[in-house]
């Protein structure tokens, strides 16, 4: 967790909702994908997966203008954090999430947690629940995907961290391909109810916290630690969706459609704990 989410808003919508000063989604940026991303980066994606480029909100001064005021920017970053000291970008595949409980201490995340915090806008996230009663053809617990989103209809703002990795093989530092900018999503313990789906969930921040979280000059790690604390339960709603989301080739708004109870087998209702559907 979190290994898939839905990023369904377009840049214009995100610019308004997150009060972005500078939309830089159209700027060229390096990707780690061998084949073109589908859907194209910067367009609605109902099945955002690691290594894809996704819209991320951050606050930063223009490059080469350290004295200029920092602005809130919308950029495309690659999901999977690659620390600046990495020998190559392959480490990002293993660093799509960072645990809130240890992010300020772990060497891979500590510097970014202190200076390079970001928001990852999302409609919501997917998680797979292992059935306590139903098994698949191999005898393993049948896994049912759920989609979780805010009950008030607002976008989720995942707390994230970002990093810059410089490719030593590219001599021109002004070449966009010389830099890979990546991010990770911070997770925390799942709240009551959602813990019936999975024991972890993304850390979702509230609008009143955005300014502090995005402030690169906020050096009070005690305050950063406060922002990493879990929130009161009850902000989210979760429901089963099609197993089609398990394939990273699947996409489109139909992935968010609820699955009828008649198609469920051994699924635990996150609200009541009741098992829905026969075990076979």
pLDDT of residue 129: 97
**Which residue(s) pair with 57 in the sheet?**
74, 119
Give the span between the Cα atoms of 92 and 79, in whole angstroms. Answer: 8
Q: Please count the CA atoms within 13 angstroms of the CA of 95 that sit on its side-chain side.
A: 22
Give the span between the Cα atoms of 211 and 68, in whole angstroms. Answer: 18
Low-confidence ranges of the chain (pLDDT < 70): 1, 63-66, 92, 280
Give the span between the Cα atoms of 263 and 91, in whole angstroms. Answer: 38
pLDDT of residue 171: 76
Give the span between the Cα atoms of 245 and 254, in whole angstroms. Answer: 10
**Residue with token string 């369904």:** 8
Give the span between the Cα atoms of 221 and 23, in whole angstroms. Answer: 29
**Residue with token string 């004295």:** 67
Q: Residues of the chain with pLDDT > 70: what percent?
A: 98
pLDDT of residue 63: 67
pLDDT of residue 278: 80
pLDDT of residue 110: 94
Give the span between the Cα atoms of 84 and 166, in whole angstroms. Answer: 7
| SS3 category, 57 | strand
Query: 4-123+150-230 in CATH: which number?
Result: 3.90.1680.10
Continuous H helices in 35-128: 110-115
pLDDT of residue 175: 84
Biggest CA-to-CA distance, the chain? 64
Give the span between the Cα atoms of 268 and 57, in whole angstroms. Answer: 35
pLDDT of residue 164: 95
- Give the residue among 109, 119, 70, 74 at the shortest CA–CA distance from 221: 109
Give the span between the Cα atoms of 278 and 280, in whole angstroms. Answer: 5
């Amino acid at each position: 967790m979190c290994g898939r989410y839905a990023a369904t808003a377009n840049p214009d919508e995100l610019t308004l909702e997150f009060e972005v000063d500078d939309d830089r989604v159209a700027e060229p940026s390096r990707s780690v994908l061998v084949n073109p991303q589908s859907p194209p980066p910067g367009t609605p994606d109902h099945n955002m997966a690691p290594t894809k480029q996704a819209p991320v909100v951050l606050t930063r001064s223009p490059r080469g203008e350290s004295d200029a005021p920092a602005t809130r920017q919308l950029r495309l970053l690659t999901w999977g954090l690659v620390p600046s000291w990495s020998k190559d970008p392959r480490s990002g595949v293993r660093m799509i999430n960072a645990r809130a409980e240890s992010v300020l201490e772990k060497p891979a995340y500590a510097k970014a947690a202190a200076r390079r915090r970001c928001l990852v806008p999302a409609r919501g996230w997917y998680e797979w629940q292992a059935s306590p009663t139903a098994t698949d053809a191999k005898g393993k617990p049948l896994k049912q995907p759920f989609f979780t989103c805010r009950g008030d209809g607002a976008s989720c703002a995942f707390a994230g961290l970002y990093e810059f990795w410089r490719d030593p093989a590219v001599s021109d530092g002004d070449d966009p391909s010389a830099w890979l900018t990546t991010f990770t999503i911070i997770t925390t313990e799942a709240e009551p109810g959602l813990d019936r789906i999975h024991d972890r969930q993304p850390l979702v921040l509230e609008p009143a916290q955005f300014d502090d979280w995005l402030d690169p000059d906020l050096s009070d790690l005690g305050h950063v630690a406060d922002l990493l604390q879990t929130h009161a339960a009850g902000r989210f709603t979760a429901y089963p969706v099609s197993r089609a989301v398990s394939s990273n080739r699947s996409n489109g708004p139909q992935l968010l459609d609820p699955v009828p109870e008649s198609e469920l087998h051994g699924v635990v209702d996150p609200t009541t704990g009741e098992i829905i559907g026969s075990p076979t």
